[in-house]
Amino acid sequence: MKKVVKFGGSSLANAKQFKKVADIIKADKSRRYVVPSAPGKRNDKDEKVTDMLYACYDAVAEGRSYKKILDKIKERYNEIIDGLDLNLNLDHEFDKIEENFLAKAGRDYAASRGEYLNGIVMANYLGYEFIDAAEVIFFDDNGNFEADTTDKELSERLEHVERAVIPGFYGSRHDGTVKTFSRGGSDVTGSIVAKAIHADLYENWTDVSGFLVADPRIIKDPEVIETITYKELRELAYMGASVLHEDAIFPVRKEGIPINIRNTNRPDDKGTLIVETTCRKPRHTITGIAGKKGFCSINIEKAMMNSEVGFGRKVLSVFEKYGINFEHMPSGIDTMTVFVHQSEFEAYEQSVVAGIHRVAEPDTIELESDLALIAVVGRGMRSNRGTAGRIFSALAHARVNVKMIDQGSSEWNIIIGVKNADFETAIKAIYDIFITVDL
């Protein structure tokens, strides 16, 4: 059996955490490939190493003093090395990093060094082979990830390597320059490695015991989801639930490899298992609730709209012209509403309104701001009658006015629009009716 284990920044913030990680890896011989992040915060007032590297590089690029920042970064790693009693010296690596900073190697290079150095420390501590991600993970000249090339190269490189550490978050372009994934991209690296070695399981270790039904900042001690499908996770991640980088799903999904979200500080907790499909009956009708604030709606009315061929295309062409993505588009016989991010829309609002008038000749256009969208997601919703009725009954009881309803054809999710001011109240009401009442 082969497992890939990825550890987040909080799991590797200091020597004490490193020791926990080593105990977890050694407890299961199938945990053969390790993907580390850069050291995270040791406490609430601390800095992440990646942020320190960005600050150091920016200081160099702007001609400001950078030595103190670089010394603080060195101290973080030396503190970990000393705490682990390792016979390891990173001075040569830091000299190279300083040299490349002065040569303007780029912010991607700067950010990647946190994972790179942590990978060296981890490989030395475990006695595993260190493989620089820049040698096995590739991007094209435009910065797009090259999945096939990477999979072939990584598979060949790891074929005869029994145990290895591959730093997360970065790879390289064809010219050898370092390119990073978006923030949190070590999750993606772990998924890529899991696909390349045909892993039986990809364990993603972090500081929570799995994927939660709702945001713990809104719901006190929300339940942990035992099993969730890739599809459900995508819906929830898109609406703001953030335990796993959403792009981490794609490599393993093609191979049918499950992901297990685990807690480094509570290794006995089973966590959440993310799978392609399952016959396991969910504990509750819904799997999770997630949402975002900061939307606005453009309400368009026109008599006989339903009989006008191409009306929707004309309207959306205006949003496309100004580079504005739409989130949802519920419609009626004579009405059509487009939901967009308010921050993206405000700068172009009058141009968009004028553009819609020109191309579609509506009777009226009304704008409404400060809206929130909430996704209620669950594979159990398809087989349970009255789910929507329970949601709206709960919202009515909580005195929340529903501004929009949109249900996908899969019957796995319902999107609800409410005012920003009602966002937390709405999530609490939905959680209570489906989770608290069911307990």
For residue range 209-262, what is the model confidence (pLDDT) as tens digits? 999 999 999 999 999 999 999 888 888 888 877 778 878 888 998 889 999 999
DSSP, res 212: B
- pLDDT above 90 covers a percentage of the chain that reads 81
pLDDT at 120: 98
Could you tell me the pLDDT band of residue 384, with boundaries at 50, 70 and 90? confident
Reduce the DSSP state of residue 268 to 3 states and report it: coil
Q: Among 67-71, 118-122, 155-159, 404-408, whose mean pLDDT is lowest?
A: 404-408
The answer on pLDDT for 439 being more than 70 is no
| Closest alpha carbon to 197 in 232, 228, 151 | 151
DSSP, res 276: S
131-145 pLDDT tens trace: 999 999 999 999 999
**b/e map 416-425, b = 16+ CB within 10 Å:** bbbbeebbbb
pLDDT at 246: 75
Could you tell me the pLDDT band of residue 438, with boundaries at 50, 70 and 90? low
pLDDT at 238: 80
The answer on pLDDT for 372 being more than 80 is yes
Q: What average pLDDT is seen over the chain?
A: 93
pLDDT at 412: 85
Could you tell me the pLDDT band of residue 380, with boundaries at 50, 70 and 90? confident
| Closest alpha carbon to 293 in 105, 385, 422, 174 | 422
Report the C-alpha gap between 328 and 279 in whole angstroms: 30
Reduce the DSSP state of residue 23 to 3 states and report it: helix
Q: Among 347-351, 388-392, 425-429, whose mean pLDDT is lowest?
A: 388-392
Tokens standing for 137? Answer: 């993970």
pLDDT at 400: 95
Q: Among 104-113, 226-235, 402-411, whose mean pLDDT is lowest?
A: 402-411
CA dihedral 40, 90, 75, 169 (to 10 degrees): -20
Q: Please name the residue that has the structure tokens 């799903």.
A: 249
> Count of alpha carbons within 13 Å of 329, Cβ hemisphere only?
10
| Average pLDDT estimate for 15-25 | 97
The answer on pLDDT for 368 being more than 90 is yes
Say what the pTM is: 0.86
pLDDT at 184: 81
Neighbour order of strands in the sheet with 164-165:
129-130, 164-165, 31-36, 3-7, 201-206, 259-263, 272-275, 227-229
H helices present in 169-310, as ranges: 186-196, 230-238, 249-255
| Average pLDDT estimate for 40-50 | 93
| Closest alpha carbon to 53 in 93, 5, 6, 8 | 93
Q: Among 157-171, 225-239, 412-426, whose mean pLDDT is lowest?
A: 225-239
- Residue pair 435/213 in contact by the 8 Å Cβ criterion: yes
Report the C-alpha gap between 279 and 149 in whole angstroms: 35
282-309 pLDDT tens trace: 888 899 999 999 999 999 999 999 889 9
- Compute the chain's Rg from CA coordinates: 25
> Count of alpha carbons within 13 Å of 321, Cβ hemisphere only?
15
Q: Which of the pair, 153 or 240, is modelled with greater confidence?
A: 153
Question: Which domains occur in the chain, in start order?
Answer: 3-275 (3.40.1160.10), 288-436 (3.30.2130.10)
| Average pLDDT estimate for 327-335 | 89
The answer on pLDDT for 59 being more than 70 is yes
- Residue pair 165/154 in contact by the 8 Å Cβ criterion: no
pLDDT at 437: 74
- Residue pair 170/113 in contact by the 8 Å Cβ criterion: no
The answer on pLDDT for 73 being more than 80 is yes
pLDDT at 269: 94
Report the C-alpha gap between 435 and 407 in whole angstroms: 21
Tokens standing for 25? Answer: 């890896």
Report the C-alpha gap between 170 and 114 in whole angstroms: 10
Could you tell me the pLDDT band of residue 410, with boundaries at 50, 70 and 90? low
Report the C-alpha gap between 116 and 100 in whole angstroms: 14
The answer on pLDDT for 79 being more than 90 is yes
Report the C-alpha gap between 228 and 233 in whole angstroms: 7
80-100 pLDDT tens trace: 999 999 999 999 999 999 999
